Amino acid sequence: MTIIKTVFVTGGAGYIGSHCVLSLLDAGYDVVAIDNFANSVGQKQAASLDRVQKITGKEITFYKCDLLDIQQLDEIFTKHKFDCVIHFAAMKSVGESMKQPLLYYKNNIIGAMNLLEVMASHKCYRLVFSSSCTVYGNPTFLPISEDHPIGNVTNVYGRTKYFIEDILKDVVNSDQKWNIISLRYFNPVGAHSSGLIGEDPTTNFSNLMPYIAQVALGKKASLSIYGGDYATPDGTGIRDYIHVMDLAEGHVAALKKLQSNHLHLQVYNLGSGQGTSVLELLQTFEKVTGVKIPYTIEARREGDIVSMYANCDLAKNDLGWRANYTLEDMCKDFWKWHTMNPNGYKTNDPANTNGTIDNH
Amino acid sequence: MTIIKTVFVTGGAGYIGSHCVLSLLDAGYDVVAIDNFANSVGQKQAASLDRVQKITGKEITFYKCDLLDIQQLDEIFTKHKFDCVIHFAAMKSVGESMKQPLLYYKNNIIGAMNLLEVMASHKCYRLVFSSSCTVYGNPTFLPISEDHPIGNVTNVYGRTKYFIEDILKDVVNSDQKWNIISLRYFNPVGAHSSGLIGEDPTTNFSNLMPYIAQVALGKKASLSIYGGDYATPDGTGIRDYIHVMDLAEGHVAALKKLQSNHLHLQVYNLGSGQGTSVLELLQTFEKVTGVKIPYTIEARREGDIVSMYANCDLAKNDLGWRANYTLEDMCKDFWKWHTMNPNGYKTNDPANTNGTIDNH
């Protein structure tokens, strides 16, 4: 098996992508990244990757490229030789996906298909795919292991991930050369401990942590918690929060696995394995930051899942990976990023970075 | 509600498409059809539609167009005003779909998405979609009604239909203007009674009836029946065969329904409601045609479904439609087409048709 040296990262400037690129560089890989900035309203250039270069002291080759532009994609694959691909690029707003399903299906599914097509034509068969716990739909048992049934997904965004997982199965089945790991992320939060990179605020606050940040920063008066009478210890919904740097390290572990094993297609949950309620998260955030978060309990939202957390034994046993950061770490690093960058990447670089990334 | 006058038919030159166009013309609709001839190796021009014009004495507007060419599609929608669309166009070989999954996902899913996008931009929201009983996967109860669970599809072709049904649900949910009927076909066989149009032989004989034709025409020595020890009355697999003209009339019934009702999205089975075993079909074919079909019983094929037939009460009650042709009719009309056109549309027109279709 060829050594994995150069990794192609789609969506590399995004929240999870940029943290993963950092971990890849730290682990000694060369990175070529692309992004179309669809989710990164604050970024005109790849500001996140510019900062990653500062943090690591290493260079990233970057292209502004949309996966729907299969010709440009092919040119990038012609110019470089990739030993593995990590595919983050996707539209990711659950709410928006329900309003514009065709846009989501088009971007996420055609994007993935174009990538697979170009990979095959350049004989690059190693892939790590960003999947999501949303493919499990409403859980029938907890904690959720990888053999939990998938489908019955409650939103379009999740359905695009589910469809792509099915497409990957068929692609692997049709050609045994493929070697693919699909990572099902639970709820990534937090930021790199430097405070220099993190989740760029967008206009969409359907996720809890960005919403909390808005209240903490005084941009919103109070937090709305949807459902306070669920059959959980404190009545609020339970999720499995995972520090984004743990998630990033999960990708490095996946690369190592792909280097020495021909798995065909293997799925791994990446979560903390801990269920945390909305109120627990809120209390931890308040304790760590000293900032009070006023909240109101609102009616349940239709389609919301009550409780969801991962069994991560398979990733532990197969990849030698486990989540190490605590909920306190997630809150602390998250808050550091937000206080240092109240306007995300539009904030002048707090580290006074004046290097610029090599934008091709 | 606007009257449905002009119908846009994708895949109009194909087996089911051409029979449906015939029924639409007979019912007084104007038809604009497209095809890319992907499944019709024998057709250089739209020979099938040329013959439909002869049979009906009516004109069809035809364009050679691939749904992946969204620009040409948009031009056609700009030139005409469509009151409804019937979407047949798809790649349909189960075996090929397993070998070339990306080709199938790309053609079938992107094709459908492009069509939906162009329809919406031209404010055409009425659609009849060609789905398939394969979306039910391995049945959990028989006869299969529309509320049978879908998913767990056993092949890529069927998965493209399943994904598109899911996409249609999300599209309808995002915009209430849509008015869509998805027709789940069981096993269409037979041909128009004129013998002038029928299923064009291709190199792919994974379906039973085309295989029988090959043996009957002396092109193959004997028929291989996969599995003779299933838990069925005679040990062979059971399917629900439906005459293609019954199927075509089902589309006319669907148009009438869409004209006077806003359904959002409604699914209907189109089948005969009768389960027929391979040996029963063979015996009926031999009885009707007087041609002997030698056969051998082979081992079961992995993934083959034992028994599958439809409950068609919903189409009967809602659409006032039911299958009228018998198994004898299917065999007789099928054999007439094949004897009159042993090489499909490559055969000189048996009716000595010399008109040519208006190819744009």
What percent of chain A stands above pLDDT 70? 93
State yes or no: is B157 an active-site residue. Answer: yes
A-facing residues of B in 112-151 (CB < 8 A) are 113, 116-117, 120, 151
Chain A residues with CB-CB distance to B167 below 8 A: 101-102, 105
Select the more confidently predicted residue: A204 or A142. Answer: A142
Q: Could you tell me if B226 lies within 8 Å of chain A, comparing CB atoms?
A: no
Q: Which helix (H) or strand (E) segment is B203 a member of?
A: none
pTM of the predicted model as reported, rounded to 2 decimal places: 0.93
Measured over the CA atoms of residue A12, residue A18, residue A19 and residue A22, the dihedral's sign is positive
User: What whole-number distance in Å separates Cα of residue B186 and Cα of residue B241?
Assistant: 7
Pick the catalytic residue from A63, A125, A136, A157: A157
Given an 8 Å threshold on Cβ–Cβ distance, is B170 in contact with A98? yes
Q: Could you tell me if A156 lies within 8 Å of chain B, comparing CB atoms?
A: yes
Select the more confidently predicted residue: A322 or B356. Answer: A322
pLDDT for residue B40 = 67
Are A295 and A235 within 8 A, CB to CB?
Answer: no
User: What whole-number distance in Å separates Cα of residue B142 and Cα of residue B306?
Assistant: 11
The angle formed by the CA atoms of residues B339, B342 and B348, to the nearest 5 degrees, is 105
Residue A204 binned pLDDT confidence (cut-offs 50, 70, 90): low
Has residue A265 got a pLDDT over 70? yes
Tokens (6 digits) for A156: 């379009």
Has residue B203 got a pLDDT over 80? no
Give the count of beta carbons closer than 10 Å to the beta carbon of residue A280: 17
What percent of chain B stands above pLDDT 70? 93
Q: Per 3-state DSSP, what percentage of chain A is helix, strand, and coil (rounded to 5)?
A: 40, 15, 45
pLDDT for residue A343 = 85
pLDDT digit string (tens) for B51-75? 999 999 999 999 999 999 999 999 9
Are B343 and B199 within 8 A, CB to CB?
Answer: no
| Mean pLDDT of all residues in B167-191 | 98
Q: Compare CB distances from A167 to B101, B116, B117 and report the shortest one's residue.
A: B101
Has residue A190 got a pLDDT over 80? yes
Which neighbouring-strand residues pair with A34? A10, A63
Residue A355 binned pLDDT confidence (cut-offs 50, 70, 90): very low
Has residue A357 got a pLDDT over 80? no
Has residue A39 got a pLDDT over 80? no
| Mean pLDDT of all residues in B116-129 | 98
Ramachandran class of A28: left when φ > 0, alpha when ψ lies in -120 to 50, beta otherwise: left
Give the count of beta carbons closer than 10 Å to the beta carbon of residue A235: 15
Burial class (CB in 10 A: 0-12, 13-18, 19+), B139: middle
pLDDT digit string (tens) for A217-247? 898 999 999 999 999 999 999 999 999 999 9
| Mean pLDDT of all residues in B270-295 | 97
pLDDT for residue B358 = 45
Residue A231 DSSP one-character state = S
Has residue B351 got a pLDDT over 60? no
Has residue A183 got a pLDDT over 50? yes
The mean pLDDT of chain A is 93
Beta strands B241-243 and B187-189 are parallel
Residue A354 binned pLDDT confidence (cut-offs 50, 70, 90): very low
Chain B residues with CB-CB distance to A117 below 8 A: 102, 106
User: What whole-number distance in Å separates Cα of residue A12 and Cα of residue A34?
Assistant: 6
| Mean pLDDT of all residues in B325-338 | 97
**ipTM surpasses cut 0.95:** no
Of A105-109, A219-223, A355-359, which one has max mean pLDDT? A105-109
Residue B1 binned pLDDT confidence (cut-offs 50, 70, 90): confident
Tokens (6 digits) for A315: 């990733």
Has residue A171 got a pLDDT over 70? yes
| Mean pLDDT of all residues in B22-50 | 88
Min Cα distance B114 → chain A (Å) is 9
pLDDT for residue B147 = 97
Q: Could you tell me if B106 lies within 8 Å of chain A, comparing CB atoms?
A: yes
User: What whole-number distance in Å separates Cα of residue B24 and Cα of residue B52?
Assistant: 11
